[in-house]
Copies of this chain bind each other. A is one copy, B any other.
């Protein structure tokens, strides 16, 4: 599978996890093939858009015969790094940190949780999802020594930038930021800011329009 030289547009990148989820569902249901028309209906994207999306990654399948579900799923997993077993740590052992640590979806998508950090003395030493909470002052060293790929930031807003700066040159490759502050991408670290309430506002828009 060759990735085209052209940069993949952000909007296409954001559709990949959805393709993955749908294909994973089809695979669990035992479906072997899916036509681009059927996939198009499920995704709410035109069949031609799907072909354009997949062309960034070499096409993925034969038109007319549809797509081979297992093959497409495997290719999507490779693209999304699900086969890489990326190591993650959680920074911030509050309610959200606990919820993410206990969420089976991380493991299912190939991510390996290997550390949880907090600054609260009362939390340090307690266990979450089988992992002991460590002092945040040791996070940078832990990340560097264990080649951790992604730090999940579930910190209060006012602590996030400071901690992100502290971790920036630890070798970390990405921040998954839940801290309701817009972290700017740092040179070597990709940032994905999660805005939970965006989807609540989308819902409330629809209710409001009815």
Binding site for B on A (CB under 8 A): 3, 8, 10, 13-14, 16-18, 20-21, 44, 79-82, 84, 86, 94-96, 98-100, 102-103, 105-106, 109, 111, 149-150, 173-174, 176, 180, 190, 192, 194-210
Nearest Cβ on chain B to A7's Cβ, whole angstroms: 9
8 nearest CB pairs, A to B = A81-B208, A95-B99, A81-B204, A17-B198, A96-B99, A17-B201, A192-B203, A95-B98
**In the bound complex, do residue B204 and residue A86 qualify as a contact, i.e. CB atoms below 8 Å apart?**
yes
A201-B20 CB under 8 A given contacts A13-B206, A79-B208, A180-B105:
yes
Across the two chains, which residue of chain B brings its CB closest to A180?
A: B105
* A84 CA / B207 CA spacing, docked (Å): 11
* A84 CA / B205 CA spacing, docked (Å): 11
